[in-house]
Amino acid sequence: MVTPDYTSHNDSVSPPSNVQQGTKFLTSVFAAFPDTQVTIEDIIAEADKVVVRNTWRGTFRGPWMGIAPTGKSVTWTGIVMWRIKNGKIAERWANTNFPEVMQQIAKQTAEPK
């Protein structure tokens, strides 16, 4: 699915630079939010680039980034662009609104139980 020289240019949270690091990070997201659903809001392709705007939704059920789960739902948005080379992903740029997730989690942990 990716070229041998695949590179990820990520955003604010532990920017992965290769497939193994990216897989490890996404595994942590899906472990913390196991019912995650991703909705593609827009998809645009031109020349060797594909851009997707998406919305992620999940329930915070497992620890993530040192934070105990709240059991409550969170929603976040993102935009990702891939450069395709010979039918495979060669580069990835992501802009995910993880500060939005952190704000929701902070609010949840501050709420009375």
Domain count, the chain: 1
Residues whose CB falls within 8 Å of the CB of residue 81, separated by 6 or more in sequence, listed in order: 49, 50, 51, 52, 92, 93, 94
Share of the chain above pLDDT 90, in %: 54
Indicate whether 74 pLDDT > 60: yes
Q: What is the DSSP string of 30-80?
A: HHHSTT-EEEEEEEEEETTEEEEEEEEEEE--S-BTTB---S-EEEEEEEE
Percentage of the chain modeled with pLDDT above 70: 93
CATH number at 74 reads: 3.10.450.50
pLDDT of residue 24: 82
Q: What is the pLDDT of residue 88?
A: 96
Residue 11 has pLDDT above 70, yes or no: no
Q: Which domain holds residue 35?
A: 2-110
* Cα 28 to Cα 31: distance, rounded to the nearest angstrom: 5
Compute the mean pLDDT over every residue in the chain, rounded to the nearest whole number: 89
pLDDT of res. 23: 80
